[in-house]
Amino acid sequence: MLVTLKEVMEVAEKRNCGIAAINTPTFESLVAAISAAEKNTTPIIIQHAQSHEYINQIETIGPAMITLAKHASIPICAHIDHGESINYLEKGLQLGFTSIMYDGSRLPYEENVQKTRKAVRLANEFGASVEGELGIMIGNEIGEHTQEVNEEDNYTDPQLAYKFVKETNIDALAASFGTVHGFYRHKPNLDYKRIKEIATLTNLPLVMHGGSGLSSKEYKLSIKNGVKKINYYTYGAKVGADATKNCINNNDAVLFSEISRYAQDAMEKDFQQIIDVFKSITE
Ligand code: 13P
Q: What is the 3-state secondary structure (H, E, C) of 104-129?
A: CCCCCHHHHHHHHHHHHHHHHHHCCE
What's residue 135's pLDDT?
A: 95
What's residue 154's pLDDT?
A: 86
Please state, in angstroms and rounded to a whole number, the distance separating the CA atoms of residues 78 and 5.
Answer: 8
105 lines ligand 1 (CB under 6 A): no
State the virtual CA torsion across 3, 52, 31, 174 in degrees, nearest 10. Answer: -40
Q: Please tell me the residue having the least CA distance from ligand 1 atom 9.
A: 231
What domains lie within the chain, and their CATH numbers? Answer: 2-278 (3.20.20.70)
List, by residue number, the catalytic residues: 81
219 lines ligand 1 (CB under 6 A): no
150 lines ligand 1 (CB under 6 A): no
Give the pTM: 0.96
Average pLDDT score over residue span 268-274: 98
How far is the CA of 96 from the CAs of 137, 232, 252, 269, in angstroms? 28, 22, 39, 28
**More confident site: 70 or 153:** 70
CA 139 – ligand 1 centroid, Å: 9
Average pLDDT score over residue span 166-180: 97
CA 251 – ligand 1 centroid, Å: 32
Q: Please tell me the residue having the least CA distance from ligand 1 atom 1.
A: 210
What's residue 146's pLDDT?
A: 56
What would the pLDDT profile of 85-105 be if each residue is shown by its tens digit?
A: 999 999 999 999 999 999 999
